[in-house]
Amino acid sequence: MALIKKQPRSKFYELLQAQIHNEFNASQQYIALAVWFDAEDLPQLAKHFYKQSVEERNHAMALVQYMLDTDHHVEIPGTGDVRNTFSDVTELIELALQQEKDVATDIQQLAKAARAEEDYIGEQFTQWFLKEQVEEISQMSTLLNIVKRANGNLFEVENHLHRESVGDSGADSGMPPVAGGAL
């Protein structure tokens, strides 16, 4: 018989649980983008978004590990709807950029809730995610600019990604521990 942790749930922890869902959903959306690029024979864009998907999964699992470490019950949620149909590359990148902006807003709400509840450890935990979102938004904005400047020449976008590795900073330096280990 498994014991369910009885730790009271604060707003911060309710938002953490919701953010686990958001991160898993972002991971699934990035898989959908990667598959679309794969189907269009754009291997560098596909590779970029497959990596983004794994990164979002790792973020979700870091939130899971934090909740486990702080003795809170965790529920692994299903994901929400995922968009699979697009008319052009710009649409996909714009969706990804908006997704990153939405996640930044969510993380800011987490930090605010922790501060309001005087949960200084929780507030400190959110700092890495806030910094990460600045990088993610910047990198996705750059990719969108490159796509727009390529003016339909996706070969140039592919070359740019191969050459510059936009969004591929390697290991997440300073990332909180990930339940089960980062992929």
Report the CATH number at residue 146.
1.20.1260.10
Q: Which of 7-11, 16-20, 59-63, 114-118 has the lowest mean pLDDT?
A: 7-11
Within a domain: 177:
no
Say if residue 59 carries a ligand binding annotation: yes
Say if 5 falls within a structural domain. no
21 is annotated as contributing to ligand binding: no
In a domain, 28, yes or no: yes
**pLDDT at residue 181, rounded to an integer:** 78
Q: Which domain does 38 fall in, by range?
A: 11-76+85-165
In a domain, 158, yes or no: yes
The predicted-structure confidence for 136-178, as pLDDT tens digits, reads as follows 999 999 999 999 999 999 999 999 999 986 654 555 578 888 8
Is 73 a known ligand-binding residue? no
State mean pLDDT over 41-63: 97
pTM value surpassing 0.85: yes
User: What are 69-76's contacts with CB under 8 Å, separation 24+?
Assistant: 69/177, 70/7, 70/121, 70/122, 71/5, 71/7, 72/5, 72/7, 72/9, 72/13, 72/16, 73/4, 73/5, 73/7, 74/17, 74/20, 75/17, 76/20, 76/24
Would 25 be classed as within a structural domain?
yes
pLDDT at 44: 96
Total domains in the chain come to: 1
